[in-house]
Structure 1
């Protein structure tokens, strides 16, 4: 199977000569900058900082740049300016307060153009179509009152998740993915998944894995040399073109198949209410309107099918490593809810420690460590530094949520940091950082937060999660997040058992409504 490295680098270095020529011409005839660029690693002739751009766990390299160069770092790769932001203050000043300038997306030759993700909200250029997508999302997910409508779905699908985990605890990751897919498919399209090997869940998993690969910074040479997008597939080193063709088809299938399902259900008069059916109801759509509805739904589907997977998996990791935190939360749940029922959203305001635990999940496991890159639509001078039009701007969210200036002992999983105690104010709510900034902030943040809370409180109500013992040896999982635009905890083993006979009854009771 081709990898990004196999498909990108071989036989392409000769192209650097042409790029070098263009780079020299550009610099000879470029106008004088109104201010210096932000500081950063020194570049090399012709290629700039090409060799400095990290390939894996980019957020760690960006963090080192921040420690050395300050809150704003700058590199230049083959003429492309890249700005890394390493503080919340700077991210808010630039991405929020100057949102009209910093809300565009760059043209990504591999992920956006060749693979087709330019149609999704994640990579959509800033403009009228972007605003239409956001308007559609806001109607369904823009307020807590709107999210309340989805509480029954979250509760019932989380209950079904408990049953799957009870039956096959060794397939935890698969159960989390299945449940995330089940929730978002019901909300997006009114589709109920089948219990095993659901085709819509499977195709979303493939498409989102491919998305994480195809938009990763510097994973494909074509993103640094866009002219390579025009080379034929048979050209030496152009394996990325074949890969992109296959990935484009996966994405198109992911967007089209469930959309057609809703259309067919509506034609038959049996479609349940969903995000898509609400947008289609009583309308005859133009080609543009059809595109907006289809890809709004696909964006919701894509956005909800993978991000919560990372967060929920990390709950199990944290509880395995921090048993005292687990016991404290369970004591609170037992005192408030008791042993005779499962938690519901009506209990949320009565469980402050569990609420803090869910917040800590968002901080400790950073789902999108560097978010998706922003693009600057016009020249800017910020804090005395020149940021040229077209610069790629990357907020290092991982460091912002692990900054010791903001969070005491950031590597430690400690929900109490979010509780006022002994006259000490709670630390910064990670949900104001982890979902991005400005006009590109995640539109489903309220729904994601509700999903993580429901998973947290329900799991802790009925399961004890602990380290696995193999051959008499206790296995301690490693905290080692995997690379990707969406980062997941490294796979690990844990023991998952019902807390009591009564908890077992609650898990096994009917999960329908």
Structure 2
């Protein structure tokens, strides 16, 4: 009776939406109680959740990082919580992360990737970051070999970095007292370096397709809104059109990831088509894309099944580009911001540059070994900011007991790198910016710290670490060699928001402007910072 009245009084679209929500609710209840039965086992401790929603209402408070810091204080080295039907297990200590990802017993066990139907519908389990098993091993090996040939410590890569550095200096000089929003200029500079390695292509200033490609990758990495959590914790919702429509009406951009991947894959396909059209005249590869297509052609000639297909190539290009652009450019943004906030440290870096390199030539990779304070400054930037606070999600392909707790194959594993980098048991005064912590007390020599793990650890550690370290040194030293940085007065007013930064996969500083002034000859700064 009631249902018939509703049918008469409501538009058909509303009835469809209500029915869809009802079905989703029943499914969510079932998933919740199935999860509750599993939680009766020896689960890691964690905050109490809400029915159906899990701990989603607790995030963020005030930020995702702040919520995890609070939970670590309350519950310890291993913390579990739920987003909808999905349980997350957070490894909060260096010891737990190393045991899970590096030890002989667990290193392979924790090397899986998220088994979400939603994610698989986007990636098909391909690429390097999104794949696992033999597919992952084969393509990681291939990528490492090719990137060594076309990138890491190669003279051509240093030349490419120098070209971008010169362009940056020109832009800083032109901007003058108006200052520069470093977001776009640094992202483009780093993107051009990795683009030369992958595509043999350097974007011009008016390249709309490249700009759209950059914007799409940035939005997927830096966004921290509700839409990112829905497909992980509530996978059934994405299969019910009425629910998606309702969420859109509520202002949730539920298709943001799909939309951005369409842009990035489209750009990669354009590059693939252009390279394939010219491949007949290529005797040796000029970039990563050439190398992949030549390997594909060789395997096609053998008439055997292989994994070097075009979608694998698009996924690999997208992942390598993202990994090689956003984290590095934002690390440099943090470095320049901290140079403004700690001018005594900036002066000491510049004094070392003057003493070891001078002003007459660009910094080179070989200069690193003579510049301990600059390396210490870069390390402290990576520790203090932690660009990838939780790295990339891991998963156990099977149920396992770890540190006295039961970890399910459905659980998603997060490594709390930000927590490790701010752990008072590992670092003295962790909330203070102190590059000296990476210098030997007696000699002043650069002293790496094993607890600094900005690129992750274990078999899934970032394969672009060598290139990233080269870029960080050359860009930071090259910028501060010729310019001094100070925060624009308008940005000083918003300093707290700038320092909090974004709350997504990548922890980027908030929008700000920096004034770059051409350096005047100056004396060497004293040893205090």
1:164 paired with 2:161, answer no
1:331-346 pair list within 5 angstroms: 331-346=351-366
CA contact (8 A) 2:264 2:318 kept: no
Question: Given the two structures, how large is their TM-score scaled by the length of structure 1?
Answer: 0.84
Correspondence for 1:155 among 141, 152, 162: 162
Partner of 1:438: 458
Partner of 2:210: 201
Correspondence for 1:107 among 85, 92, 115: 115
CA contact (8 A) 2:440 2:446 kept: yes
Partner of 2:200: 190
CA contact (8 A) 1:259 1:276 kept: yes
Correspondence for 1:485 among 505, 511, 522: 505
The alpha carbon displacement at 1:235 in A equals: 5.8
Write the distance in 1 (CA, Å) between the matches of 2:199 and 2:385. Answer: 29
The alpha carbon displacement at 1:185 in A equals: 0.6
The alpha carbon displacement at 1:347 in A equals: 1.4
Change (3 A) 1:144 1:331: farther
SS of alignment partner, residue 494 of structure 1: strand
| 1:177-235 deviation per Cα after TM superposition (whole angstroms, max 9, x unaligned) | 110111111011111221x1323531332221342268878734232222222223796
Partner of 1:17: 26
SS of alignment partner, residue 246 of structure 2: coil
The alpha carbon displacement at 1:461 in A equals: 0.7
SS of alignment partner, residue 191 of structure 1: coil
| 1:123-175 deviation per Cα after TM superposition (whole angstroms, max 9, x unaligned) | x2311221122112211446999433422222332222222222234243221
Correspondence for 1:450 among 465, 470, 478: 470
How many pairs align? 485
Partner of 1:73: 79
Write the distance in 2 (CA, Å) between the matches of 1:185 and 1:431. Answer: 31
1:350-429 pair list within 5 angstroms: 350-422=370-442, 429=449
SS of alignment partner, residue 102 of structure 1: coil
| 1:21-73 deviation per Cα after TM superposition (whole angstroms, max 9, x unaligned) | 34436656x6974xx21111123455543433548732221111111111101
SS of alignment partner, residue 495 of structure 1: strand
Change (3 A) 1:166 1:157: same
SS of alignment partner, residue 412 of structure 1: coil
Write the distance in 2 (CA, Å) between the matches of 1:469 and 1:16. Answer: 51
Question: Given the two structures, how large is their TM-score scaled by the length of structure 2?
Answer: 0.82
Change (3 A) 1:378 1:424: farther
Change (3 A) 1:362 1:32: closer
Partner of 2:4: none
- Structure 2 gap segments, 5+ residues each: 1-16, 301-305, 523-529
Correspondence for 1:40 among 11, 32, 46: 46
Write the distance in 1 (CA, Å) between the matches of 2:419 and 2:194. Answer: 29
| 1:324-346 deviation per Cα after TM superposition (whole angstroms, max 9, x unaligned) | 00111111111112232222122
Write the distance in 1 (CA, Å) between the matches of 2:489 and 2:234. Answer: 51
Write the distance in 1 (CA, Å) between the matches of 2:455 and 2:185. Answer: 24
1:301 paired with 2:321, answer yes
Write the distance in 2 (CA, Å) between the matches of 1:179 and 1:79. Answer: 41
- Structure 1 gap segments, 5+ residues each: 1-9, 503-513
Partner of 2:132: 126
1:289 paired with 2:308, answer yes
Change (3 A) 1:435 1:144: farther
Write the distance in 2 (CA, Å) between the matches of 1:443 and 1:69. Answer: 33
What root-mean-square deviation, in Å, do the aligned CA atoms of Structure 1 and Structure 2 show?
3.3
Partner of 2:263: 250
